[in-house]
Structure 1
Amino acid sequence: MLVLTSATFAVGTDGFLIAGILPDISRSLDVSPSVAGQLVTFFALAYALLSPVLAAATASWPRRRLLVTALLVFTLGNVIVAVAPDYGVAMAGRLVAAAGAAVVTPAATVVATGLVPPEQRGRALALVVAGLSAATALGAPLGTALGGAGHWRLSLWGVAALGIVAALGVAALLPETPRPPAVGLRRRLAPLRDIRIATVLSTTLLTLTGLYTVYTYISLSFDRATDGSGNRLALLLVVFGLAATAGNLTAGSLTDRFGTRRVLTVALLACVVDFALMPWSGSGLPSALLAVAVWGVCGFGVLVPQQHRLISVSGAGAPLSIALNATATYLGVGLSGVIGAAGLHLVGAHRLGLISVVFLALGLCSAELAHRVIRRREESATAPADGAVPLPDSPSGTVR
């Protein structure tokens, strides 16, 4: 289980790292910050599009060989970026890294459930996902600090080293597990025909687009608070990561107690207010720390109720819906890079939060629409058959 966690930690660190070293990459490769930010966009979009395709193509591979191969491809991609002489080569490296990452996380999740009895699958999944949370809290800030202390290429070599360590761990320690049933690409996309699932996924897409429009360019949006210091930026990323981990951990119990609708509504409303204030809260370090803390807690607090809502409406098709939710997540991250780049020219880095507000508000509307669509379907499913006899003392007024 720990080697699977190390694999998701490596992938997560790579996904979050570029934002912290964006100015250095921009200067080194002689491109503008908005163009350098497309390294995040390209990685995320490639991940989102390749994940279902590669999952279908490698369905018959033994799981251990699949994970080792994917981690080596991921490592190769980071090595290409680390030695890239120009922007084009760096983009090619990001594509290779995304191809490996798009296989690692879903495969690690499936393997984790096969290593434990059914009653322990929840904890197994939590441990694997903890690698992604730890990457947010530790991997990206450490990579940023490493880049600030030396050169941004050192950060990419560090991610490549993580990939090698994870691959060696999987090869040496992971037992072979049964292959899951092969699922074709058409079946993987079948849940999109359900309006309930499609609406929930649209909430994920809109929300993640809003949350990451600023994150991709966080070094520019909060440069007044960091004063150009890599250590201060790393501090902001640490606070963000710890807050995100806390939000992720507490969202589960809050969802069980208050339901998905209330948790999503409160979390998204808090994000709307937080991002609307960022042009002012980003001007000093204390207020910036508070802003990223609220951002982390409430932004990552959306993920659990979203998954809970998907599972509740998907039934036996939940694994496919959750995989599509991951695709929607990375599509949102990819779109945020493009939208943020446009925002840099339209409103400036310090006002990117105002663009995020638009997408977060749309995400809030989508979440409410999803609630109503789901409830309407439930009411339709429990409606009395034709010819039911109304009874005055029946709670619903009918005989079921």
Structure 2
Amino acid sequence: MSDTATPQAASRTPTHGRWSVPVLGLGIFAVGTDEFVLAGVLPEISDAFGISVAAAGQIVTAFALVCAVLAPVLGTLTAAWPRRRVLLLALAVYAAGNVATALSASFGWLLAAQMVAAAGAGLFVPAASVTAAALVPAERRGRAIAAVTTGFTAATALGAPIGTALGGAFGWRATVWFLVALAGAGLAGVAALVPARVAVAASGGLRARLAPLRDRRALAIMGTTLLAFTAVYIPYTYIAPVFEPATGGNGTRLALLLFLFGVVGTVANHLAGTLADRVGGRAVASGSIALLIAALLLLPLTTGSYGLALAMVVAYGLPSWAITTPQQHRLIALDPASAPVYVSLNAAVLYLAISLSGVLGAAGLGWTGANRLALVAAAIAVAALGLSELAHRLGRK
């Protein structure tokens, strides 16, 4: 049966109404933790398979690239399916990929298994955002998307530290079994709490579903996402060398910086969703990028003191995580009927930004050194702000 229930009716259902959106956030927490936690156990993986840490790091790159490529493809192919079926399939594929990862006997098998897990993650993230937006009235759409995407910040603040600790104590396979357990919890939650029928606009054929790609406004907004999150993730990916003068190479001090970044991001994401509902996505997105530029310009001045580093992580984390929800809000507002395509493409762009941040950050380390790497990110953020305002002008025309 096709999805025919109205968003308002679904949100009023007693069994589902209160918990449907949070359980989607749990699912994103599960798939988002994979992206962040494996970076913390790369030394263990390199030792286990007798490869360099740089080679082991290709897991993170491959995961992000597969998500970037498959998110729009899978999102388009499943756009007419019932949302709960898509969500359950995505989590099942993600869980299967991680089971295969935990049982891997070679690095090649591990890499292939993580690519399977990435396919599930790439399908789940946009489907969860679209479902959350469909479950609530239009005036609460930004907060619903924020509640779901908070799963990413929670993955940074909680999932990655817990998984890294498990890997240090029991080996990297324990970290992957932790991911499997999270996927199982997400599967159970979605099956029990997401309505069987959620109203999302039906699309025509493949050509009709990809028609939004011809919209210059959408391309400008997604370009903003690409540049903004490349700027965000360059310092995050290389946070250890950037703040090494402040941490002295102490892992506990670095872990606290990462934890604080995630906690601040969780708060910022919720605030951004509420503000997007009140003042619009463009104002929040452009304002957040402007604050990000200021933080990145000041960051090199704070790397010599741990106290200043803690303050800077707050100043850097707030605008970084306040960009996600407004960007999705802007895309859905362009044409709610095309929300599945828009959001899946935006998710793909976000994963592409993660991949680019590793490449551009590595180049920046050789060019400017760790202390000035944030200035490279600031230049990219300036371009993101310009593109954000261009998208707004195109929308007004």
**TM-score of the two chains, using structure 2 as the length reference:** 0.81
* Cα pair distance change 1:340/1:157, threshold 3 Å: farther
Per-residue CA deviation, residues 9-65 of structure 1 (Å, 9 max, x unaligned), is 101211222333344445554544444433222212211211121123334655444
Report the counterpart of residue 77 of structure 1 in structure 2: 97
Q: Is the 8 A contact 2:46 2:53 kept in 1?
A: yes
* Cα pair distance change 1:60/1:254, threshold 3 Å: closer
Report the counterpart of residue 191 of structure 1 in structure 2: 212
Deviation at 1:335, TM superposition (A): 1.7
Deviation at 1:163, TM superposition (A): 0.9
> Which stretch shifts more, 71-80 or 275-284?
275-284
2: CA distance between counterparts of 1:148 and 1:219? 18
2: CA distance between counterparts of 1:96 and 1:219? 29
Per-residue CA deviation, residues 308-330 of structure 1 (Å, 9 max, x unaligned), is 43344436434432332222212
Per-residue CA deviation, residues 366-399 of structure 1 (Å, 9 max, x unaligned), is 1232233333x1xxxxxxxxxxxxxxxxxxxxxx
RMSD of aligned residue pairs (Cα, Å):
3.1
* Cα pair distance change 1:283/1:152, threshold 3 Å: farther
* Cα pair distance change 1:116/1:272, threshold 3 Å: closer
Aligned length: 376
Partner residue of 2:120 out of 84, 87, 100: 100
Residue correspondence of structure 1 range 318-397 to structure 2 within 5 A: 318-375=339-396, 377=397
* Cα pair distance change 1:204/1:351, threshold 3 Å: same
Deviation at 1:100, TM superposition (A): 0.8
Amino acid at match of 1:156: V
Amino acid at match of 2:62: F
Deviation at 1:6, TM superposition (A): 2.3
> Which stretch shifts more, 117-126 or 227-236?
117-126
> Which stretch shifts more, 109-118 or 361-370?
109-118
Report the counterpart of residue 282 of structure 1 in structure 2: 303
Residue correspondence of structure 1 range 110-149 to structure 2 within 5 A: 110-112=130-132, 124-149=144-169
SS at match of 2:349: helix
> Which stretch shifts more, 208-217 or 267-276?
267-276
Report the counterpart of residue 162 of structure 1 in structure 2: 182
- Structure 2, unmatched stretches of 5+, are 1-19
SS at match of 1:21: helix
Deviation at 1:178, TM superposition (A): 5.5
Deviation at 1:364, TM superposition (A): 1.7
2: CA distance between counterparts of 1:60 and 1:309? 22
Amino acid at match of 2:325: V
Per-residue CA deviation, residues 257-303 of structure 1 (Å, 9 max, x unaligned), is 66655544442233223223444423443222222212210112222
Report the counterpart of residue 4 of structure 2 in structure 1: none
2: CA distance between counterparts of 1:340 and 1:146? 28
Residue correspondence of structure 1 range 181-220 to structure 2 within 5 A: 181-220=202-241
* Cα pair distance change 1:219/1:369, threshold 3 Å: same
Q: Which has the larger radius of gyration?
A: 1
Deviation at 1:365, TM superposition (A): 1.9
Report the counterpart of residue 268 of structure 1 in structure 2: 289
Report the counterpart of residue 389 of structure 1 in structure 2: none
**TM-score of the two chains, using structure 1 as the length reference:** 0.81
Per-residue CA deviation, residues 184-216 of structure 1 (Å, 9 max, x unaligned), is 443333222122221121111111111112222
> Which stretch shifts more, 297-306 or 114-123?
114-123
Per-residue CA deviation, residues 209-252 of structure 1 (Å, 9 max, x unaligned), is 11112222333433444444443333222211111122222224
Per-residue CA deviation, residues 323-363 of structure 1 (Å, 9 max, x unaligned), is 32222212212222222233344444444323322321211
Deviation at 1:97, TM superposition (A): 0.9
2: CA distance between counterparts of 1:201 and 1:270? 19
- Structure 1, unmatched stretches of 5+, are 378-400
Amino acid at match of 1:8: I
Q: Percent identity?
A: 48
Partner residue of 1:50 out of 36, 57, 70: 70
1: CA distance between counterparts of 2:282 and 2:128? 30
* Cα pair distance change 1:153/1:229, threshold 3 Å: farther
2: CA distance between counterparts of 1:5 and 1:54? 20
Amino acid at match of 2:148: V
2: CA distance between counterparts of 1:66 and 1:38? 28
Q: Is the 8 A contact 1:212 1:333 kept in 2?
A: yes
Partner residue of 2:321 out of 288, 300, 311: 300
> Which stretch shifts more, 60-69 or 44-53?
60-69
Q: Is the 8 A contact 1:51 1:327 kept in 2?
A: yes
Q: Is the 8 A contact 1:38 1:338 kept in 2?
A: no
* Cα pair distance change 1:91/1:287, threshold 3 Å: farther
Report the counterpart of residue 88 of structure 1 in structure 2: 108
SS at match of 1:176: coil
1: CA distance between counterparts of 2:249 and 2:283? 39
> Which stretch shifts more, 94-103 or 334-343?
334-343
1: CA distance between counterparts of 2:299 and 2:139? 44
2: CA distance between counterparts of 1:122 and 1:367? 18
1: CA distance between counterparts of 2:323 and 2:374? 18
> Which stretch shifts more, 97-106 or 66-75?
66-75
Deviation at 1:95, TM superposition (A): 0.7
